[in-house]
Amino acid sequence: MTIKYTKEQLNKFDKDLLIELFLGMQGQMEELSRQTQALNDRMQLMMEQMVLFQKNRFGRSSEKMADSEQIRFMEVDGTIVFFNEAEAVCDLDAPEPEDLELKAPKKKKQPGKKAADIAGLTVKRIDHYLKEEELTAEFGENGWKQLPDAISRCYQFIPASVVIEEHHIGVYSSKLDEHMIKAPHPRNLLHGSLVSPSLAAAVINGKYVNAVPLYRLEKEFERYGLAITRQNMANWMIRLGEEYLGTMYDYLHKLLYDYHVIQADETPVLVNKDGRPAGSQSYMWVYRSGFMYRDRQIILYEYQKTRNASHPREFLRDYTGICVTDGYQVYHTLEKERENLKIAGCWVHCRRRFNDALEVIPKAHRKESILHLIMKQIQAIYREEGKLSDFSTEDRLMQRQLVVKPLVDAFFAYLKQNEPKIPKNGKIREAFTYALNQESYLKVFLEDGDVPIDNNASERAIRGFCIGKKNWEMIDTVNGANSSAIIYSIAETAKANNLKPFDYFEYLLTEIPKHVDDKTQIFLQNFCHGQICCPKTLESRKKPAENKQTAKAVCYLSRYSYSTVYLKSLVNAGFSASF
């Protein structure tokens, strides 16, 4: 209960009592100020979260900056100097053009593109010719001649069809005893089941490649007159994963250890019957070969109930090399436990935090914010790194040391220089804390030309699973989750190596059963694209983009040296930047 004193009552108090009242009020004011500040901080965090929530739900997901102006920066005598890139390459003595109006460049039509698009497809020729009587009536007797045919083409789509393969197997017995033999014949894919490699490949291609839930496939098969339930298909997937495709998965797991650089990520998933309360979150982990090894890629999924360190510890037990991840502490724990494992950080996760912090600032004031310059610095790092995509490992490492490393060093110097000035709470503090804590991991790519700058390749590798997850929402059993991990692994590996998933699965499910009695896994070498051999018919018609013509290192170095000289001239002339 609050007590209020009148002026007359206060005049009657002695000095000591007034001092006690004043000190008590002072303490209460400090406590109220502290509580008010805490409430203001919480309110600020809530406002930032609300802005990001609205942006994530209604705004664009791209982190591309709308401002296209490029800014150069460098650390000079402990100070970060910014300057407009246009100023660094301008020539004041260059003559003015006569025509100041920009002409829109005409996009040249690629010759033969339509023919290239249909090359390799089966052509069904249909002739359309006039009879001789019709030509005589039109031109007169012998009044016409045959010209080259006019050719018109169109796509003809043939829907899928289903046939029954009925194998009649000769059975022979001796007339003298009970000796009996059968003619050689292919064994059933699954004992007691009508499923064939082609049908299994169609189900896999539908669910695991095109993200179509089994209940939709069930309805589609009904339209073709097939009585195949979703329970049948689910059982097939589990059994195929355990009996055949799991062998291929284990072999790819061993091959993954041969890569000097790998990448890892994880995503949550719900499994209905996993022995835990309903709604308990499980995880699908993904491990893939380094993005720089583009000609022989491996992508592996692994289902686990939790997200703790024991899972990557076991999966990477025999691996030595560099693993690119996000900032999840589990991977850093593994690095501390082992001398032969090194963790590299992801610049996309770093950029994303600064982008989120920038998004909560009103648009009118973003360019005035320190975050705008930080995003420009990250943009410059990515711009220079992007020019090295087609370089060899050695050349990429050399250019990173010459061009990218000074930018990265300047970036972290700028963060440390401004870190004391930022608020103690909020998204901007979170972004600064993340970047500075991850500094050593974010610099690993500068030491090895095979290490990518970010972990985007892992996020792309797990995207197919995330799209499917939105459609089927949850996995029913643990066995289903393990089989899904195996099948998704082979499907994503096939796509990454430019193979047609349907044809590849049909090929595997035709060939692997022939080797079920083999005591070694040598036969699997023939099924790994990029390792030994893989039938050319399995390759996708879509050809990978041709490498861009790379610039000579000496030209690259000359441009970099010019920018450095220009910067030094700015500093010598007394140029300064205000932040």
Please provide the DSSP assignment of 50-84 as one string.
Answer: HHHHHHHHHS------S----EEEEEETTEEEEEE
Percent of the chain with pLDDT over 70: 80
Mean pLDDT across the stretch 569-577? 34
User: What was the pLDDT predicted at 560?
Assistant: 40
Please report, as a single letter, which amino acid is at residue 54: Q
Between residues 95 and 301, the one the model is more confident about: 301
> How far is residue 34's CA from residue 336's CA, in Å, rounded to a whole number?
40
Between residues 144 and 106, the one the model is more confident about: 144
Lowest mean pLDDT among 286-295, 412-421, 561-570: 561-570
Mean pLDDT computed over every residue of the chain: 82
User: What was the pLDDT predicted at 66?
Assistant: 55
Name the 3-class secondary structure at 281: strand
Please report, as a single letter, which amino acid is at residue 145: K
List the one residue out of 381, 400, 436 whose CA is nearest residue 72: 381
Instruction: For residue 101, name the pLDDT band (cuts at 50, 70, 90).
Output: low
C-beta of residue 217 within 8 angstroms of C-beta of residue 233: yes
Q: State pLDDT tens for residues 264-308.
A: 999 999 998 888 888 889 999 999 999 999 888 999 999 999 999
Q: State pLDDT tens for residues 175-219.
A: 888 899 999 988 889 988 889 999 999 999 999 999 999 999 999
User: What was the pLDDT predicted at 319?
Assistant: 94
User: What was the pLDDT predicted at 562?
Assistant: 33
> How far is residue 365's CA from residue 310's CA, in Å, rounded to a whole number?
46
Lowest mean pLDDT among 33-42, 59-68, 320-329, 391-400: 59-68
User: What was the pLDDT predicted at 335?
Assistant: 93
Pick left, alpha or beta for residue 317 (phi over 0 → left; psi -120 to 50 → alpha; otherwise beta).
Answer: alpha
C-beta of residue 301 within 8 angstroms of C-beta of residue 487: no
CA atoms within 13 A on the CB side of 449: 15
User: What was the pLDDT predicted at 297?
Assistant: 92
User: What was the pLDDT predicted at 563?
Assistant: 39
User: What was the pLDDT predicted at 554?
Assistant: 37
Q: State pLDDT tens for residues 344-375.
A: 999 999 999 999 888 888 888 788 888 999 99
Please report, as a single letter, which amino acid is at residue 489: S
Q: Which two tokens stand for residue 22?
A: 């004043």
User: What was the pLDDT predicted at 517?
Assistant: 80
Mean pLDDT across the stretch 524-534? 59
> How far is residue 558's CA from residue 270's CA, in Å, rounded to a whole number?
54
User: What was the pLDDT predicted at 80?
Assistant: 56
List the one residue out of 159, 415, 145, 393 whose CA is nearest residue 290: 393
CB atoms < 10 A from the CB of 522, how many? Answer: 10
Pick left, alpha or beta for residue 423 (phi over 0 → left; psi -120 to 50 → alpha; otherwise beta).
Answer: beta
**In this model, does residue 568 exceed pLDDT 70?**
no
Mean pLDDT across the stretch 448-477? 91
